[in-house]
Amino acid sequence: MCGIVGYVGRAEATPILLDGIRRLEYRGYDSAGIATLEEGVISIRKEVGRIDKLVEAVARNPIGGTTGICHTRWATHGKVTRENAHPHQDRSGKLALVHNGVIENYASLRAMMEGEGHRFLSQTDTEVLAHLIGRAFDRSAVRTREVLVDAVREALTKVTGTYGIAVIHSEFPGLIIGARRGSPLVLGIGKGEYFLASDVSAIVAHTRDVVYLNDYEIALITAEGFTLSTVQGEGAASHVTKVEMTEEDTGKGGYPHHMLKEIHEQARTVADAMRGRLSHEEATAKLGGLNMSNAELRAVERIVLSGCGTAFHAAMVGEYLIEHLAQIPTECEYASELRYRNLPMTKDTLVFVLSQSGETADTLAAMRESRRKGHRTLGICNNVASTIARESDGGVYMHAGPEIGVAATKSFTSQVTILVLIALLLGRIRNLSSAAGGRIIEELEALPSLIEQVLKLEPVIERVAKRHAHAKVMLFLGRQYNYPVALEGALKLKEISYIAASGHPSAELKHGVIALVNPETPSVFIAPHDTLFSKNLSNIEEVKARGGPIIAIGTEGRSEELAKLCDDLILIPDAPEILTPILTSIVLQFFAYHIAVELGCDVDKPRNLAKSVTVE
């Protein structure tokens, strides 16, 4: 989950590298480091903490050169110390390397090299890889850049795990070697300059032409150009892609935090998720990216939805949607568990994997396992050039734009919107009438306007959030479509405010959860006026009888009974039951955000978390 940036060209590398990792700080911010190559000397600066500390260190003790690599770390192996920060060097000190991923067999490799006299300065798996490459290179009597590439290739055949790496060597000024397996790496093409990054957002200020490296590919990069090969030593073709993202897309747009900006973008992003995908004439959704005919879709007898974190909660909403509208048995599986389970799946099972980045390691592994077993596997992701988008059998692109805030917001509502479209499509080729399909399309088209109304509730939600900001524990409860929203609301609060929160089906209160109810523990009930509204009221009564503070999300004009029971009431506009999760989740995003701000938390960079989980 670390961020990597590399530069080779004619300009001074340091400003470009530091600007790039600023844009990647959401990928890791335990520590940061930079290495540049000038006149045959590698200069390294490292600092613990945020990137600003590294910038200050470089200002105090400048480094120059037109070739360099930079890194922002999310710790996996080794504590957060300057010694463990990247870049790491080999035994000779002539090679420097930055790494995103995990070398699983690093301990045995380290022991082997320690037996040969290697001395390691850090606790990291990355330093082992640097030594392994240097060891292979230093054995050769011939010292050319091709031999260095071969040394990288030899070292990578010896490691088990994942990697996205950038390597420089003091004997080869103007050269960077990059390689990937399981961790994203993109090569940016400029005029007389080239870039390497773990995320395209780091380099869009400089170029929009990129090549996305595939697993087991190695890039040799100079200011004059690049060549691609594989770890196995074969040639590899390059496919240049034009990036749609702009530098402005990755900014805050005048908001104090990326998260708040992204919450306010949801009326547009939900509309973009539907754009061009609704057919009034046929009263259905048009999703050509699935690469499946109606006959093939009709043959599906079972669906598995898989994701991690927020994407898993969206999948849970999708389970209710597909079973209700299409009557296809559907289940959700954590991607991290799916790849290791011996899950019985018949040949007519269709698998969807959900990932905002399209690079989530567990979700990618689940997708590959599903395809390996012969199941058609489709992706729902936000990056058309991501690994999941490239390797899946088809899918649906979210069109949500860059999501920089670590706590997912607009990606959740976009995923749920797409799952409504999928459920509508599957329903219409089965049992759903044209009239019902047409009604759902009308409701979907009205959804952005309803979201705009919810966004205007921010001042009300902020006041409620401030009243409860100092609670130590909170409970989130909902039923049916809004049970996953309870889980998502609790996750948002945990992620950015560090308040212990848990989500539950409302009716599960009396099966143990109610033991947590007390006057200091607020219960947040997601209780729109739906088919189970009266049941939710009964659960709220149980909490009220025990003195627990009650915050409720109800429906405007239909919540008189709710108002009598609750300490705080937030009213969303009246909406169809299947679409309420989109509206109620936005309320809870605001709620978590304003609690975190009130507590002084770093909303966009919560402790211990990174945006794109590219390690297992």
Domains and CATH numbers, the chain: 3-250 (3.60.20.10), 251-455 (3.40.50.10490), 457-603 (3.40.50.10490)
Closest CA to 536 of 489, 476, 473: 476
For residue 507, with 0-12 CB atoms within 10 Å meaning exposed, 13-18 middle and 19 or more buried, which class applies? middle
Q: With a cut of 80, say whether residue 181 has pLDDT above it.
A: yes
pLDDT at 76: 78
* The dihedral sign for the CA sequence 548, 551, 553, 554: positive
Is residue 611 among the annotated active site residues? yes
pLDDT higher at 251 or 212: 212
pLDDT in tens, 413-448: 999 999 999 999 999 999 999 999 999 999 999 999
Percent of the chain at pLDDT exceeding 90: 80
Per annotation, catalytic residue among 2, 308, 381, 601: 2
| pLDDT-derived band at 195, boundaries 50, 70, 90 | very high
pLDDT at 186 over 90: yes
Convert the pLDDT of each residue in 208-217 to its tens digit.
Answer: 999 999 999 9
Q: Which of 82, 211, 218 is nearest to 163 (CA)?
A: 218
Q: What is the 3-state secondary structure (H, E, C) of 541-575?
A: HHHHCCCCCEEEEEECCCCHHHHHHCCEEEEECCC
Residues 6+ apart with CB under 8 A from 342: none
Is there a cis peptide before residue 87, judged by omega within 30 degrees of 0? Answer: yes
Mapped onto helix, strand or coil, the DSSP state of residue 236 is: coil
Q: Looking up tokens 């990056």, which residue turns up? A: 383
Task: Please tell me the least confidently modeled range out of 271-275, 450-454, 541-545, 608-612.
Answer: 608-612
Which residues face 34 on adjacent strands? 45, 70
CA distance 274 to 269: 9
| pLDDT for 246 | 72
pTM to 2 decimal places: 0.86
Write down the pLDDT at residue 220: 96
DSSP assignment of 584-598: HHHHHHHHHHHHHHH
Q: What is the percent of the chain where pLDDT is above 70?
A: 98
Determine the average pLDDT of the residues in 521-545: 93
Cα–Cα distance for residue pair 275/286, rounded to 1 Å = 10
Q: Give tens-digit pLDDT for 320-373.
A: 999 999 999 999 999 999 888 888 888 899 999 999 989 888 999 999 999 999
Whole-angstrom distance, CA of residue 20 vs CA of residue 70: 8
Tens of pLDDT, residues 48-93: 988 899 999 999 999 999 999 999 987 777 888 999 999 999 999 9
Instruction: Answer with the residue of higher pLDDT: 606 or 615.
Output: 606
Q: Radius of gyration of the chain from Cα atoms?
A: 26
Written as six digits, the tokens of 391 are 């390797």
Give the pLDDT band (50/70/90) at residue 611.
Answer: low
Q: What is the largest CA-CA distance in the chain?
A: 84
Catalytic residue among 94, 410, 494, 611: 611
Q: How many CB atoms lie within 10 A of CB 235?
A: 8
Residue 616 predicted with pLDDT over 60: no
pLDDT digits (tens, 9 = 90+) for 103-138: 999 999 999 999 999 999 999 999 999 999 999 999
Interval 260-288: pLDDT, tens? 999 999 999 999 999 999 999 999 999 99
Active site residue 456: no
Tokens of 601: 């938390």
CA angle 456, 317, 602 (to 5 degrees): 50
Q: Kind of pairing, strands 278-279 and 284-285?
A: antiparallel
CB 417 within 8 A of CB 273: yes
Q: What are 243's strand-pairing partners?
A: none
Dihedral, 446, 449, 453, 458 alpha carbons, nearest 10:
120
